[in-house]
Each structure stands twice: as C-alpha cells, then as structure tokens.
Structure 1
C-alpha cells in the first residue's frame, strides 16, 4: 500500500481564513495534513521573520478530521520554520500556502506572505506551491478552483519540481466553466504606482495610508497578468536565487580591483 504524502499547509490570512480551510479540504483528499498558520492576518509581510520577540504556537481544533493544527504568533515564514524544526517528525513531502485572498501575480510576489512561506519551504528543500485567488473578499468562493488546485498539487507530487523552484499559482475569479485552462507563464513586468494619503489625527499628528494603482507595463502574451486577464490560471516557476546571472559578465569588465 502506498504511503500517503505528508503535506504542510500554511498561509498569511490566518488559520481561520476561508482560503486556507478550502486548501485544507483539498489536501485531505491527497495526503496526511499538518496545518501551521498565523493566529492573525499577516498579509504583505514578505519574508519577515521574528527575531526580537518570542514565538508561541498553540494546538487548535478547527477541523474535526485533523489531529495536527497549530496557530502561530509569528509570520508565515516563521510558521514554516517552526513546523519543520519543532513540530514535524520528518520533512514534509510538500508545502502548500494559501489559498490567498487576492492576487500574488507579477511583482506582488515580493511582498506576499503567502509566497514567502512557500519560498521558505523551498529553501528547506521541500517542494512548494503558493495558491492565490483573485478575490480579496473574506467571503470569496473557492469552490470553482478546488479541482485545479488538486490537479496542480498531484502533478507536483508525481513529477516533482526542478531544484530550488517553487510554483506561484494564481487563480482567476471565474465560474468553473469559464476557466479556460492552466498556462505556465513568466512573471509580468509590472509595479505599483504608490501614493501616501496624508491625514491628521485629532491630536494634530500626521499619519499616512499607503495607496496606489497597479500598472502593468508588459504587453507580452506569455505572462501571468495576460493569462489571468484572459481566463487562464497562471503558473509561474520562481526561485530564491536572486543572482542576476546575466549581469556577471558585464560587472567583470569593471575596474573593481585597480
């Protein structure tokens, strides 16, 4: 009898978010599930870790069918670290993060706690996938994408991933019969044109709200933004080696040692 894969589930929207509960439901159909997720929302935390405060974990019982669910006081990356080094008796076969409430396509991956948790798993040598739905609503409907989440997960478990590669999967907010399929893409060249909304509190002290507009400068039809805008699920392979290999030859022409 084949042994079920051990799957670590985490996110950045908190352990009670509907997105992670939907992801847990799918993963329970595939393997043995352990959940370690933040006890409160940690969106846009990026790859932050807790070093100046203590970390706390608490065993919780949200899903009656799960024996190992833990809420963590730290960031999404903290959740993966403490799961691997303190909670699990062996390295999981897969880590899945999400399903995030909102897009993590293009440059958003840099800020994403969802994707940073998946990247941390990749650093630990664990195949990892981050899933995000293009719907920021707490009451987002995850049912139309569950079959696609399962399909991608099974493919990763069967085929594996290239060394040091993590998948960034974004799912359009569409009825299931309007999703055209899955496209492997590159990350679009896009950014946030940011502004700060300056206000003054009753005590006369200034404060700021970050706001802005997402600008896609990329006209390519092989990007995640194009895929999502045209009814496809985008799958972008990402890596944590940030070396700009194409720039090494040019920098070696500089007179750095003279």
Structure 2
C-alpha cells in the first residue's frame, strides 16, 4: 500500500479565508493534511518573521474534536517555520500556500506573504508551491482552480523540483472552460506606479493611503502576464538565491582592494 504524502498547507489571507479552505479540500484528495496558517490576514507581509514579540499557536477544535489545523499569531513565514520545527512529527513531503485572493504574478511576488511562505519551505528543502487566483474578492469563486491545483501538486510530488526552486502558480479569473491550459513562464518585467493619498485625521495629524496602478513593461509572450491575459494558468519557477550572477564579472573589474 502506497503511503500518503504529508502535506503542509498555509496562506497569508488567514486560516478562515475561502481560498485556503478550497486548497485544503483539494489536498485532502491527495494526502494527509496539516494546516498552519495565520489567525488574521497577513497580505503584503513578504518574508517578515516575528522577532520582537511572542508567537501563539492554537489547535482548532470542531464539534469537540481536535483537528489537524492550527492558527498562528505570526506571519506566513512564521507559520511554516513552526509547522516544520514544532507541529509536524516529520518533514512534510510538500508545502502548498494559498489559494491567494489576488495576483502574485510579476513584481507582486516580492511582496507576497503567500509566496514567502512557499519560499520558506523551499529554504528547508521541501518542494513547495504558491497558488493565487486573480480575484481579490473575499467571495471569489475558486471552483476553476481545483483542477489545476491538483494537477500541478501531483506533478510536483511525482517529479520533484530542482533544489532551491519553488513554483509560483497564478490562475486567471475566468470559468474553467475558458482556461486554455498551463504555461511555464518567466516573471514579467512590471511594476507599480505608486502614489500616496495624503489626508488629515480629526486630530489634525497627517496620514497616508497607498494607491497606484500596475504597469506591465514587458511585451514578451513567454511571461506570466501574457499567459494570464490570454487565459492560461501561469507557472513560474522562482528561487530564494537573489544573487545577480550575471553582474559578478563586471563587479570584479572594480578597484575595491588596496
């Protein structure tokens, strides 16, 4: 009898978010699931970890019975660290993060708590995937995600991933019948043109709201933005080694030593 894989599930929208509930349902068809997720939304936290305050973990109880779900007071990266080091009795076979409410394509991956959780597991040598749906609504319909979440997860379990590589998967916000398939992509060159809306509080203090617009600067047809615009699921292999290897040779020509 084949042993079921142990799957660590996390996210950044919080343990009660519809996206993670969908992800849990899909993972239960694949293996044994343990959930360690934030007790409140942690979007945009990036790879933040908790250093200057205590962390709390609470095992959820449903109908008087303990579950394999744990809510954590920390960040998504904290959740993965605690899951691996304290909660699980063995290393998970895979870590999946999401399904995020909103895009984590192109530059968004830098800020994403969803992807930082997956990267944290990748640092530990665990095959990891971050899933996102291009719908920011709390009431987003995740039905079209299920097929591709299962397909990609099963392929990672079957084939493994290159050491140091994590998958960033984004799913277009269309009906499943409109999704044309899966594209392996590179991250598009894009950014946010940001501005701050300055206001004054009733107490007379200045305060700011961050706003802006997303600008795609990349016309390539091999990018995640192109794939998503054309109703493909985008899969981008990313890594936590941020070294700009192509720049090393040039820097070595600098006069930096006496």
Structure-2-length-normalised TM-score: 0.98
Q: CA deviation at 1:116?
A: 0.2
Aligned to 1:80: 80
Deviations 1:209-246, CA, capped at 9 Å, x for gaps: 00110010000000000000001000000000000000
Q: Residues 66 and 250 of structure 1: is their aligned pair in 2 closer, same or farther, counting only changes over 3 Å? A: farther
Secondary structure at the counterpart of residue 120 of structure 2: helix
Secondary structure at the counterpart of residue 68 of structure 1: strand
Aligned to 2:165: 165
Secondary structure at the counterpart of residue 118 of structure 2: helix
- C-alpha contact (below 8 Å) 1:33/1:66 kept by paired residues: no
RMSD: 1.3
Distance 1:20 1:239 in 2: 23
Q: CA deviation at 1:145?
A: 1.4
Deviations 1:39-91, CA, capped at 9 Å, x for gaps: 00000000000000000000003699983100000000000000000001111
Deviations 1:9-55, CA, capped at 9 Å, x for gaps: 00000000000000000000000000000000000000000000000
Aligned to 1:26: 26
Gaps of 5+ in 2: none
Q: Residues 66 and 158 of structure 1: is their aligned pair in 2 closer, same or farther, counting only changes over 3 Å? A: farther
Q: Residues 62 and 157 of structure 1: is their aligned pair in 2 closer, same or farther, counting only changes over 3 Å? A: farther
Question: How many residues matched?
Answer: 258
Q: Residues 126 and 81 of structure 1: is their aligned pair in 2 closer, same or farther, counting only changes over 3 Å? A: same
Q: Which runs of 4+ in 1 moved over 4 A?
A: 62-66
Q: Residues 199 and 215 of structure 1: is their aligned pair in 2 closer, same or farther, counting only changes over 3 Å? A: same
Aligned to 1:254: 254
Distance 2:134 2:62 in 1: 25
Q: Residues 212 and 63 of structure 1: is their aligned pair in 2 closer, same or farther, counting only changes over 3 Å? A: farther
Distance 1:94 1:65 in 2: 26
Aligned to 1:101: 101
Q: Residues 62 and 197 of structure 1: is their aligned pair in 2 closer, same or farther, counting only changes over 3 Å? A: farther
Distance 2:83 2:144 in 1: 30
Distance 1:145 1:224 in 2: 16
Aligned to 1:70: 70
Secondary structure at the counterpart of residue 250 of structure 2: helix
Aligned to 1:216: 216
Distance 1:43 1:145 in 2: 20
Secondary structure at the counterpart of residue 106 of structure 1: coil
Distance 1:47 1:62 in 2: 31
Q: CA deviation at 1:144?
A: 1.2
Aligned to 1:127: 127
Secondary structure at the counterpart of residue 110 of structure 1: helix
Distance 2:77 2:239 in 1: 16
Structure-1-length-normalised TM-score: 0.98
Aligned to 2:110: 110
Aligned to 1:185: 185
- C-alpha contact (below 8 Å) 1:9/1:24 kept by paired residues: yes
Q: Residues 178 and 53 of structure 1: is their aligned pair in 2 closer, same or farther, counting only changes over 3 Å? A: same
- 2:14 is aligned with 1:14: yes
